[in-house]
Amino acid sequence: MKIRSRLICCVLPVVFLSACKKSDSAQGTTAKLAPSTNTAPANPAPAAAPAAAPANADASASAEASAKMAAADWAMKQDEIKNDPNGEWAIQATASSTYNDAQGTASYSANQAAGVPNVDSYGDHGEAWAPKTPDGGIEWLDLKYPKPVYATEVRVRESCGSGAVIKVEVYDEKGGAHSVWQGNDPTKELNYLILKFPKTAFKSDRVKITLATNVVPGWNEIDAVQLVGTDQ
């Protein structure tokens, strides 16, 4: 693809960028040994005691282990979401605007947010949707899914300028919009904004994400959006 309010409580071990930006296209020496002699050596000095380990060695090892565990937990959570049997990924999308007026499946087009997640690092990627300009204000992404379900959750995978989502709506089969969340998006770095809500009384196969791009400086990009629900 170039496809609660509660943030996944996992830490991605990447450096947080305050704003996303678009891309612009000693050698050792070997000492010589002195020749050996038959002269008996002088009384040797007592061997020095081993140097004590740095006081912070244990703390560093513990921090490294914790970071590895957090990374493993994060990876497992991503895999769990990606393979959720009740989750489905969009098959097409439209948007209020696209960077460079991208159409179809071109880089940064709305359809880059369709399909499974495929952006693997936080930052500017053409495999995600991006609006025409940064910090412009209200923008939206409208996604269509393969089958209608009684929705219980929406998961928005943000990949650049995370934290700008302000509203999420699902549509009933007659085209009526129903707001399932509105508020302050806590997402940081490459992660999901996970929104759980009571099961809808109608089936839905359409989700609309609204952003306020001026809230988070720089480019705001969305990699994918998963709709979660059941047939009954």
Confidence of residue 50 (pLDDT cuts 50, 70, 90): low
Is 16 within a domain?
A: no
Residue 117 inside a domain? The answer is: yes
Has residue 210 been placed in a domain?
A: yes
pLDDT at 84: 96
**Looking at residue 97, what is its pLDDT?**
98
Average pLDDT, the chain: 84
* 157-185 average pLDDT score: 98
Q: Evaluate whether residue 142 is within a structural domain.
A: yes
- pLDDT above 90 as % of the chain: 67
Residue percentage of the chain with pLDDT more than 70: 78
Q: How many distinct structural domains can be found in the chain?
A: 1
Three-state SS at 223:
strand
Q: Could you read off the pLDDT of 69-115 as tens digits, one per residue? A: 888 988 898 899 999 999 999 999 999 999 999 999 999 999 999 99
Residue 3 scores a pLDDT above 80: no
Q: How high is the pLDDT of residue 228?
A: 98
Question: pLDDT tens for residues 195-208?
Answer: 999 999 999 999 99
Query: Can you give the CATH number for the domain in which 93 is found?
Result: 2.60.120.260
Query: Could you tell me if residue 220 is inside a domain?
Result: yes
Whether residue 182 lies inside any domain: the answer is yes
C-alpha span between 26 and 38 (Å, rounded): 37
Residue 194, domain member (yes or no): yes
The β-bridge partners of 170 are 178, 207
Residue 96: closest CA among 4, 215, 224, 210:
210
Tell me the pLDDT band of 65, cut-offs 50, 70 and 90. confident
119/77: higher pLDDT:
119
- Evaluate if residue 23 carries a pLDDT over 80: no
Q: Which has more confidence, 145 or 58?
A: 145
The residue range of the domain holding 184 is 80-230
User: Are the CB atoms for 132 and 98 separated by under 8 Å?
Assistant: yes
Measured CA to CA, the distance from residue 96 to residue 186 in angstroms comes to: 23
- Residue 111 is given by DSSP the state G
The pLDDT, as a whole number, for residue 56 is 76
Q: In this structure, is residue 155 part of a structural domain?
A: yes
> How far is residue 217's CA from residue 195's CA, in Å, rounded to a whole number?
23
**pLDDT class of 37 with cuts at 50, 70, 90:** very low
